[in-house]
Structure 1
Amino acid sequence: MKQHTVIDSPYGPLTLVASDGVLCGLYMAGQRHRPPEENFGDRDDTPFAETTAQLRSYFAGELVEFTVPLGMIGTPFQRSVWEQLRRIPYGETRSYGELARALGNPGASRAVGLANGRNPIGIIVPCHRVVGADGSLTGYGGGLDRKQRLLDFERGLAPR
């Protein structure tokens, strides 16, 4: 059974989606690869209290690592990429190639990029921390402006 809620954030409204009470989606308004609203289930705030509290702490600059349980739905390769994303420390970045090497498949940087783009739980699974090999900003489902703002925020370059 799926449920969802919408919360405000400094980056616009965030739609949180849970399946059987476990977070399986966090989507920004206008996000690429955002599922249709009818896939989000009934509107119900109940399963999102801890996620909402952790997101508020993150946006206040008080939390650097999320601990909410996640129900990541994807292929085994996608889930392995998303797990690598969760290992990128707050305020740091990694390139697609670095992630591919960490997965033991140095030639898979393009596949890593595709999996990164399909990340269903933005911010908490920090796909915004992935940059090009030269450190440049590359695609982000929430838009490059949001990606830059999130990176600046984590680096202490943006107001809290």
Structure 2
Amino acid sequence: MRGVTDNARVDVETCASVEIPTPIGPLGVVVTARGVLAVGLGGLTSAEQAARSLNGLVPGSLPGPVERVRGELGEYFEGMRQAFTVPIDWRLSSGYALEVRRMLAETVAYGDTISYSGLARLVRDEDVEGRDGAARAVGRAMATNPVPLLVPCHRVLAADGSLHGFGGGLEMKRRLLALEGAVPATLF
């Protein structure tokens, strides 16, 4: 009797990786034909590690998508871009985390901030595990965000307005918020 795996087919899809130097340090970016799959705040290693969790991705060349994300990130750091238009490949997000990340990307604009509990209220989650539990659930979704900057988890603050948690560290979060004018540049 033939096993299921004998007939199993894995679709192969090209992904491209690039490391982009920025004022906050190198960003690793993995793109597919669908969009940006992962952004690594410390460089390429973390972005590629996130991409490895998907079966069927093979390294290749995608010059159009790579140059588009490189250009938009460059414009952002030069203060010439306030919204990203590159598509996001959402396959590394699912369930509640996907809902929270989409809400953040769609509602919290450049230069604005929101609290963890405020974001929970936007996704109508204030009653799940109580208010503090909902804020913690949003925090978990932000902590595992595979596309930081594009999904601007740096704009999410503690209820008292203080900086709390960020994959690239609080100094990086502070610098991103200062770039956007959300906090005074003198704080770093």
RMSD (Å) for aligned C-alpha atoms: 2.4
The amino acid that maps onto 1:48 is: V
Q: How do 1:10-159 residues align onto structure 2 when only pairs under 5 Å count?
A: 10-29=23-42, 36=49, 39=52, 42=59, 44=61, 46=63, 47-72=65-90, 73-86=92-105, 87-106=107-126, 107=131, 108-155=134-181, 157-158=184-185
Q: Name the TM-score, length of structure 1 as normaliser.
A: 0.88
Quick check: 1:5–1:44 contact (8 Å CA) kept in 2? no
Instruction: Provide the C-alpha distance between the structure 2 equivalents of 1:91 and 1:41, rounded to a whole number of angstroms.
Output: 37
Offset of residue 37 of structure 1: 8.0
Offset of residue 43 of structure 1: 6.4
Q: Name the TM-score, length of structure 2 as normaliser.
A: 0.76
Instruction: Provide the C-alpha distance between the structure 2 equivalents of 1:71 and 1:116, rounded to a whole number of angstroms.
Output: 17
Instruction: Provide the C-alpha distance between the structure 2 equivalents of 1:14 and 1:137, rounded to a whole number of angstroms.
Output: 21
Report the number of matched residues.
158
Gaps of 5+ in 2: 1-12
| Misfit runs of 4+, over 3 Å | 156-159
The amino acid that maps onto 1:19 is: T
Instruction: Provide the C-alpha distance between the structure 1 equivalents of 2:113 and 2:76, rounded to a whole number of angstroms.
Output: 17
Once the two structures are aligned, what percentage of the paired residues are identical? 35
Deviations 1:105-134 (A, max 9, x none): 113111111001111111111000000000
Offset of residue 29 of structure 1: 1.0
If asked which structure has higher relative contact order (CA below 8 Å, sep 6+), I would say: 1
